[in-house]
Amino acid sequence: MTTATAEHRSFEADVSRLLHMMVHSVYSDRDVFLRELISNAADACEKLRYEAIGKPELLGDAPKLAITIAADTEAGKLVIADNGIGMSRDEMIEALGTIARSGTRSFMERVAAAEGKEGAQLIGQFGVGFYSAFMVAGEVEVVSRRAGSDEAWAWSSNGKGEFTVAPVALDEAPARGTRVTLHLMDHAKTYAERWTLERIVREQSGHVPVPIALIEKPGAEPATLADGAALWTRPKSEISKAEYVDFYRSVAGQYDEPAAIIHFHAEGRHEYSALAFVPGARPFDLFDAERKGRIKLYVKRVFITDEAELMPRYLRFVRGIVDTADLPLNVSREMIQDSPLLGAIKKGVTNRVLSDLAKLSEQDVATFSLVWENFGAVIKEGLYEDFERRAQLLDLSRFRTTASGEGWRSLKEYVAALKENQTAIYYIAGDDAGRIANSPQLEGFRARGIEVLLLSDPVDSFWVSGMPEFEGKPFKSVTQGAADLGLVPLLDGATSPSAETSQEVQTLLLAMKDALAGQVADVRASDRLTDSAVCLVASDKGPDRQFERLLNAAGRLDSAARPILEVNPRHAVVTALAGVEDGALRSDVAHLLLDTARILDGERPTDANAFAERLNRLVTRSFGDS
């Protein structure tokens, strides 16, 4: 650098204060410095491309635009160079001498004023990004030569409040464009290592519209890191399945193949491109309470963040990118989700993902079944959280039922198979799929061939309790209230569970109610039991059995409501007990039957010692009788 005519200047802002704020508040990840410098380099190339429309001579003998990163581990240096538009002395002072002064913004104002020219794709909107270099560098040097100029200039600073600008001999400057040299601090020397640079470029800047090459050490041949073409900008017809899979694996960090690929470009009030993937395998952290979505936000092919809420939580398994030109690449990267535009993008992308999943469910049942197997429990969270799309999600949802075997059933299929006089969609909820499938409460429904939804996911009790209906049919729990099955005819050969209760059994039920006072709200004859002696159900009002347990476990109920004990009046144990006159024996058996019902419901006897004592007395008595 020529120093004879070097000019020392102070920044036009409180650089120390603003740099401290930026490093510690604006940017939470030091890696972003490379993204910022690459963004600036890409902008410079785009500016040249635009100006060369009217002045093709600016491209000279080097029409191919490129960005080069050169590392020197031993010297602790990192260089980011481009052959873009470059800067004059005045432009350098204006762009690099003032925090938040943007050459890009000024350039865009000129573009907006121009007419009849092709629009320039510019990334940056504010001039703060360059100063992120001081997070890793103790000194930064910039050498630049504007396209078509016979002068070159150098800028240097340690970020402490002053900078120096001086002319540079042309043989020490690039033929065109800008070269930024970072003298890395000791704690940042890893940024001169190949693997670090490759990782950052591919994760954050792999899709800028300019090719990026890496020279890993002085004298080494350049290696291509990015080809300057963003996959999502290409027509779908030109992209192979292998290219989609490779991109999915890079953006998702997984090694499976995607079950669904959703690629579209939205136009109109808001313009953006989206490329989303539904994984073929379940991520290990799918049910992590802190897990957020994994959709990466790009602005004009430059990575901004993967923490913007571009998907509702119930679609958090979807991986991919959204790229928009309508947002600025500015200092508020971490606060960019506050933009109303993101709300519109989130709505559009969510609707498209759900509609494509619906098409998949119709066109490829096997693949959709795999998707539902992996992610159905998460998608159903939307039935509870997303009122606006509840109908759409209900159509998409699939269920195990008493009639589906190992397969899945949609609600449309369920409603189409309703039995004569069936007026509700019946379900049973619990935390064990195998246990609820064998619940005694299902016996009367099976006797009539009535299909029942088997809901074993934790979210099921929440969404179904607030779901009013589907196609005019309300949802009704088989563990709540009276079954009201009398109007539905029995299957051929089925035994009626609702035969008239004898006077002896009616007397027994009254005695059992007295014996179990305080533990049950009622003891009544059941029209839903065919094989089991007893079962527990909830009252017509309030939550069903499973939802009550969940609320009670979460501390959201002061006390659990007393259940109703339903008794099968035709069961051998019940008819035999009805003929027993020993009050103590009746009481013991009544309590044992109640505890049996609790066990069948997945609970424990409320008093294990009393349960064991009653059982011992009953067994001893049976030995004595024999």
Angle of helix 340-363 versus helix 365-379 axis, rounded to 10: 140
Which of 366, 353, 343 has the alpha carbon at shortest distance from 392?
Answer: 353
Q: Read off the pLDDT band of 289 (50, 70, 90).
A: low
CATH of 397-625, one of 1.10.3210.10, 3.40.50.620, 3.40.50.720, 1.20.120.790: 1.20.120.790
Mean pLDDT of 203-212: 87
CATH of 231-371, one of 3.30.70.980, 3.40.50.720, 3.30.230.80, 3.60.20.10: 3.30.230.80
Residue 107: predicted pLDDT: 47
Mean pLDDT of 135-155: 95
Least confident of 50-54, 394-398, 458-462: 50-54
Checking if the pLDDT of 427 tops 90, the result is yes
Higher-pLDDT residue of 547 and 216 is 216
Mean pLDDT of 532-543: 88
Interatomic CA distance for residues 65 and 83, integer angstroms: 6
Residue 74: predicted pLDDT: 95
Residue type, 221: E
| H helix or E strand, kind and range, residue 260 | strand 260-266
Checking if the pLDDT of 7 tops 50, the result is yes
Token readout for 356 is: 């494509």
- The torsion of the CA quartet 377, 380, 381, 386, rounded to 10 degrees, works out to 160
Q: Read off the pLDDT band of 123 (50, 70, 90).
A: very low
Contact assessment for residue 528 and residue 444, using Cβ atoms and an 8 Å cutoff: yes
Cβ contacts of 56 within 8 Å, gap of 6 or more: none
Q: Read off the pLDDT band of 612 (50, 70, 90).
A: very high
Checking if the pLDDT of 431 tops 90, the result is no
User: What Cα–Cα distance (Å) separates residue 448 from each residue in 435, 525, 528, 564?
Assistant: 21, 18, 10, 23
277 has which bridge partners? 261, 319
Token readout for 281 is: 């395998």
Percent of the chain exceeding pLDDT 90 equals: 58
Higher-pLDDT residue of 3 and 396 is 396
Residue type, 576: A
Q: Looking at the domain covering 7-226, what would its CATH class be?
A: alpha beta
User: What Cα–Cα distance (Å) separates residue 539 from each residue in 61, 100, 459, 546, 551?
Assistant: 85, 66, 22, 13, 16
Mean pLDDT of 30-51: 89
User: What Cα–Cα distance (Å) separates residue 21 from each residue in 27, 39, 325?
Assistant: 9, 21, 27
153 has which bridge partners? 144, 167
Q: Read off the pLDDT band of 92 (50, 70, 90).
A: very high
Judge if 7-226 and 231-371 fold alike in CATH terms: no
In this predicted model, what pLDDT tens digit does every residue of 451-477 receive, in sequence order? 999 999 989 999 998 888 999 999 999
Helix (H, G, I), strand (E, B) or coil at 565: strand
Domain ranges for the chain, please list them.
7-226, 231-371, 397-625
Contact assessment for residue 361 and residue 353, using Cβ atoms and an 8 Å cutoff: no
Average pLDDT along the chain: 86
Q: Count CA atoms closer than 13 A to 157's CA, side-chain side.
A: 26
Residue 97: predicted pLDDT: 74
